[in-house]
A = this chain, B = another copy of it.
Amino acid sequence: MDFSLRMRYNGGKQPARRAIGGIIMNKVRFGIIGMGVQGGLYASILTGRQHPGRGPLPQPAGCVLTAISSRRDQSGRAAELGVSYFADWRALIDSGECDCVILTVPHFRHHEIAIYAMEKGVDVLCEKPAGVRASDVRKMMEARERTGAKLGMFLQQRTIPLFRQLRQIIDSGELGQLRRSNWIMNTYWRPDSYYASAAWRGTWKGEGGGILVNQLPHYLDLWQYLCGVPEQVYAVNRHGAFRSITVENDVTVLAEYPGGGTGVFVACTHDPMGTDRLEMDFDGGKIIVENSSRATVHRFRQREPEWNRSLTADEMERFVSSPDHHTTEILDEGLAYGVSHARILENFARHIRLEEPLVADGEAGLAQVELANAIALSGWLKSPVSVPCDSARFDEELQKRMDAE
């Protein structure tokens, strides 16, 4: 290890933000635990490097990478990045070189490492999903409460302006009450060779699930971010649909919202021409989002209950194409690859330094896992379940599948 290098990064118990006159004053020192695909990406972003196949990446302000940890020897990579390397994640946390750690280890281990870090006064930015089991995520949340540490989630699609604008429109109440959502999200085509590329992929023991755990967390999160948390779900999940895997890779969910609305969510990994279409129907408008990149927002000239009182069906049929019926706006502000990740890093750094509200907090991470758990459990039990579902029952059913694998 290059000790002088670590010194440069103010390697001590004092976080960088308290250093005076140093080159990293006001920078939050990040460590990365787990240097797989995602860990490598975050290391590239934090150090302003080009990521293979992705071109230049934006470097987040107020952040600095000081250390990485990986079971596989990454000391060469650490030297190249100019940071410390720890084979043992505990040593990284204990080193005092990091104000916070990014967890990109297997999902099953998130809570264990997060709790250790928080108890040592190190804040945690956790890769999605927060965990496989909501019960594990709740343990992580309890540690946050107990320690007062910070806990953020890498649910970076929330930073995409399109989704933030939609959330603002919905939150403003101008579209009124949600009556329906329908999201077909079939763009995650994954062949058998993908599942065979790592032993943990597509297994209960290795990943604790399939599409619900690996591909969908962002979209389950966005679905709730925009439409709210359902109170009940019923799901038909296909396990190993057209693939040689044991976990679910095809889900169809029927959700019920507290206000009486309903929702549908459809996803699979075997559609070679994937559809991504989200429709949200409100009593004051309709939003259609295509390819998660272009939204058509229709604002009705008045609320549906008013038309119910004043129009006949025939009048509505003629009226619906008139400019007096609604206005239409197109939203399509996206982000270049890596920018959303960088924004999460910047937000987390400002959250630590300035108490800026988190884009995605522990509650968001937990809610996403609770939804995924409920969908999985409903599919296993072949019956509707409440959201959040009975965690003990979920854990038991998952364990059965892990044991049988």
Most chain B CB atoms below 10 A, which of A191, A238, A283: A191
Q: A186: which B residues are within 8 A, CB to CB?
A: 180, 281
8 Å CB contact of A191 from B272, B300, B312, B383? B312
A186-200 interface with B by 8 A CB criterion: 186, 189-194
A304 interface residue (CB < 8 Å to B): yes
Q: In the complex, what residue of chain B is closest to A319 when comparing beta carbons? A: B272
Does A182 sit at the interface, judged by CB under 8 A? yes
A320-363: which have CB < 8 Å to B?
Answer: 320, 325-326
Contact A266 B264, beta carbon cutoff 8 Å: yes
In chain B, what residue has the closest Cβ to A320? B273
* Given A194-B312, A264-B252, A313-B194, A271 contacting B179 (CB threshold 8 A): yes
A308 touches B182 (CB 8 A): no
Decide yes or no whether A12 CB sits under 8 A from chain B. Answer: no
What residues on B are CB-neighbors of A184 within 8 Å? Answer: 182, 279
Task: Find out whether the CB atom of A273 lies under 8 angstroms from the CB atom of B305.
Answer: no
Contact of A189 with B242 at beta-carbon distance under 8 Å, contacts A252-B254, A256-B236 already known: no
- With a CB–CB cut-off of 8 A, which chain B residues contact A274? 320
Residues of chain B with a CB closer than 8 A to A311's CB: 191
- Provide the bound-state CA to CA distance between A180 and B264, in Å: 13
Nearest residue in B to A326 (C-beta to C-beta)?
A: B273
A179 surroundings in chain B (CB, below 8 A):
241-242, 268, 270-271
A238 interface neighbour in B192, B243, B252, B260, Cβ under 8 Å? B260
Task: For residue A236, give the distance in angstroms from its CB to the closest CB of chain B.
Answer: 5
Query: Which B residues are in CB contact (< 8 Å) with A250?
Result: 262
Cβ of A40: which chain B residues have Cβ within 8 Å of it? none
List chain B residues, Cβ under 8 A from A241: 179, 260
Any B CB within 8 A of the CB of A382: yes
The count of identical subunits is: 2
Which B residues are CB-close (under 8 A) to A279? 184, 275
Nearest Cβ in chain B — how far from A178, in angstroms? 12
**How far is the CB of A349 from the nearest CB of chain B, in Å?**
31
In this assembly, does A107 line the interface, its C-beta being within 8 Å of a C-beta of chain B?
Answer: no
User: How long is the Cα–Cα vector from A256 to B192 in the complex, in angstroms?
Assistant: 24
Whether A309 sits at the interface, judged by CB under 8 Å, is yes
CB distance from A218 to the nearest CB of B (A): 16
User: A residues bordering B, Cβ < 8 Å?
Assistant: 179-180, 182, 184, 186, 189-194, 234, 236, 238, 241-243, 250, 252, 254, 256, 260, 262, 264, 266, 268, 270-275, 279, 281, 283, 286, 298, 300, 304-305, 307-309, 311-313, 316-317, 320, 325-326, 382-384
* Given pairs A179-B268, A272-B300, A275-B286, 19 additional interface contacts (CB within 8 A): A182-B264, A184-B279, A189-B313, A190-B313, A191-B307, A191-B316, A192-B309, A194-B312, A236-B256, A241-B260, A242-B283, A243-B308, A252-B254, A264-B266, A271-B286, A272-B320, A273-B286, A273-B325, A273-B326
What are 13 sample pairs from A and B whose C-beta atoms fall under 8 A apart?
A180-B252, A180-B268, A182-B182, A189-B316, A189-B317, A194-B312, A234-B234, A241-B260, A242-B304, A242-B308, A252-B254, A271-B304, A272-B300
